[in-house]
């Protein structure tokens, strides 16, 4: 059968409706709806135990849902698992490479499993090694790789079969910041090359770096969704940061803002360590008013920027819990 089910650009690469999976009393997924638009990155954010890996396993046909439907590139997880597996790539939360084999051998083996000829599997392995900067380490056993090299090998492994839809399950958990940045760059390249990505993460910064849209899940349920800036806007306004040329000006700047009584402007604070004044604002008019006032008072300003709230703050506002201690949380005031 050669019927192409590949969705057109802008179509839905992943469609999930009412997805549920229970393990005894635990509702790992409790009626999840989500879509991933072709060629984009959906970030699935959630604390430990939220159901992220369960979602990825169902979308990879490794686990069967109890209820609901899920389609990937038009293929149904229950009725078309073989076709579906051919279009996906998975970088699991737990590394999937064979420790004893070299990087090159791992990638070659995957190519062979995907029915490539020996020659093609070798060529594809070398191509992936090159692309993920592993050529020099290609012949060393994976057990001797650093954490970052392993993650890159994982990513390379998931890319061998030219997947159109990639699942990345917490791809940078446990990595140092530099290695995390390397992985982010690779993911950005995959997306630039046209891949659709479903990325699970507990790192707000990661979602912000990589994702176009976000679905926040908590205890098996979607608690918020939308574009990152939309979610942030829901939670609060922006912070205007002003950097005077001379740090000694900070107190005078704060006092000038306090005394001016500009409409809706209150609570300007000096950040001595950063050499900044922070002013909470909710509109562009307020931004203009603040900048205008400081100009009129002859302050010399080195820089101005505005910042949306961090996703950590967003998560706290949405769930009432911090991201790290999910399991200790009890419903407050609900
Ligand atoms: N095979 C299983 N048997 C029993 N319970 C399970 C199983 N798989 C998952 N669970 C439970 O389902 C819930 C969701 O687990 P899941 O692994 O999907 O969460 P997660 O969001 O990936 O968490 P983490 O961020 O820690 O990886 C948890 O309470 C977990 O203990
Ligand atoms: Mg998980």
Residues 149 and 48 in one domain: yes
Q: Where are the beta strands (DSSP E) in 73-111?
A: 75-76, 88-91
Residues 195 and 297 in one domain: no
CB 91 within 8 A of CB 110: no
pLDDT tens for the 334 residues of the chain, in order: 334 444 455 699 999 999 999 999 999 999 999 999 999 999 999 888 999 999 999 999 999 999 999 999 999 999 999 999 989 998 876 667 888 999 999 999 999 988 899 999 999 999 999 988 899 999 999 999 988 888 889 989 998 988 999 999 998 887 888 888 888 988 898 899 889 999 999 887 888 889 999 999 989 999 999 998 787 777 767 889 999 999 999 999 999 999 988 888 888 999 999 999 999 888 889 999 999 999 999 999 999 998 877 767 777 777 776 655 433 434 443 3
280 Cα to the center of ligand 1, angstroms? 39
With a 6 A CB cut-off, is 146 part of the ligand 1 pocket?
no
Note residues around ion ligand 2 (Cβ under 5 angstroms). Answer: 52-53, 93
Residues 47 and 196 in one domain: yes
Residue 320 belongs to a domain: no
Residues 65 and 187 in one domain: yes
Q: Which of 16, 20, 28 has most ligand 1 atoms within 8 Å of CB, for mutation?
A: 28
pTM of the model: 0.77
Residue 315 belongs to a domain: no
In 3D space, the residue among 176, 185, 163 whose CA is nearest the CA of residue 203 turns out to be: 176
Q: Which of 203, 227, 251 is the last residue of a domain?
A: 227
With a 6 A CB cut-off, is 54 part of the ligand 1 pocket?
yes
Helices 177-192 + 147-159 axis angle, to 10: 10
Residues 221 and 161 in one domain: yes
Residues 299 and 165 in one domain: no
Residue 314 belongs to a domain: no
> DSSP states of 267-312 as a string?
--EEETTTTEEEEEESSHHHHHHHHHHHHHTT--EEEEEEEPPPHH
Residue 271 belongs to a domain: yes
Structure-token match 């084999």, residue found: 101
**Residue nearest to ligand 1 atom 1, measured at CA:** 23
Domain CATH for 256 = 3.30.70.100
With a 6 A CB cut-off, is 48 part of the ligand 1 pocket?
yes
218 Cα to the center of ligand 1, angstroms? 12
With a 6 A CB cut-off, is 26 part of the ligand 1 pocket?
yes
Structure-token match 């909710």, residue found: 282
324 Cα to the center of ligand 2, angstroms? 14
Phi and psi (nearest 5°) for 325?
A: -110, 45
User: How far apart are alpha carbons 280 and 229 in whole angstroms?
Assistant: 17
Residues 120 and 252 in one domain: no
- Report the pLDDT value the prediction gives residue 3, as an integer from 0 to 100: 42
Q: Which of 204, 227, 250 is the last residue of a domain?
A: 227
The number of distinct structural domains making up the chain is 2
User: How far apart are alpha carbons 145 and 158 in whole angstroms?
Assistant: 17
Residue 117 belongs to a domain: yes
Residues 289 and 251 in one domain: yes
- Both tokens of 314, joined, read 């967003």
Measured at the CA of 28, the angle between CA 314 and CA 227, to 5 degrees, comes to 30
Residues 249 and 135 in one domain: no
Residues 82 and 190 in one domain: yes
Q: Which of 167, 197, 227 is the last residue of a domain?
A: 227
Domain ranges, residue 263 = 238-307
Domain CATH for 77 = 3.40.50.300
Residues 219 and 92 in one domain: yes
User: How far apart are alpha carbons 284 and 257 in whole angstroms?
Assistant: 16
Residues 147 and 287 in one domain: no
């Amino acid at each position: 059968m050669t019927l192409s089910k590949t969705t057109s650009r802008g179509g839905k690469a992943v469609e999930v409706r009412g997805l549920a999976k229970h393990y005894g009393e635990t509702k790992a997924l409790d009626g999840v709806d989500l879509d991933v638009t072709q060629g984009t990155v959906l970030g699935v954010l959630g604390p430990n135990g939220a159901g992220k890996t369960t979602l990825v396993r169902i979308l990879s046909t490794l686990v069967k849902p109890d209820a609901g439907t899920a389609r990937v590139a038009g293929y149904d997880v229950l009725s078309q698992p073989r076709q579906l597996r051919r279009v996906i790539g998975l970088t699991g939360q737990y590394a999937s490479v064979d420790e004893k084999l070299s990087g090159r051998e791992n990638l070659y083996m995957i190519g062979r499993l995907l029915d490539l000829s020996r020659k093609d599997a070798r060529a594809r392995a070398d191509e992936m090694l090159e692309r993920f900067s592993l050529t020099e380490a290609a012949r060393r056993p994976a057990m001797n790789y650093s954490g970052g090299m392993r993650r890159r090998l994982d990513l390379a492994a998931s890319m061998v079969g030219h997947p159109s839809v990639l699942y990345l399950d917490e791809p940078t958990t446990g990595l140092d910041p530099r290695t995390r940045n390397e992985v982010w760059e690779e993911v950005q390249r995959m997306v630039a090359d046209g891949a659709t990505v479903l990325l699970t993460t507990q790192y707000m910064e990661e979602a912000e770096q990589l994702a176009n849209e976000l679905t926040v899940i908590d205890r098996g349920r979607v608690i918020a969704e939308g574009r990152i800036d939309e979610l942030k806007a829901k939670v609060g306004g922006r912070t205007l940061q002003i950097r005077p040329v001379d740090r000694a000006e900070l107190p005078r700047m704060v006092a000038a803002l306090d005394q001016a009584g500009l409409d809706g402007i209150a609570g300007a604070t000096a950040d001595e360590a950063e050499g900044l004044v922070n002013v909470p604002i909710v509109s562009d008019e307020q931004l203009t008013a603040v900048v205008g006032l400081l100009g009129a008072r002859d302050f010399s300003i080195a820089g101005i920027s505005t910042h949306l709230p961090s996703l950590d703050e967003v998560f706290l506002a949405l769930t009432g819990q911090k991201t790290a201690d999910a399991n200790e949380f009890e419903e407050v005031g609900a």
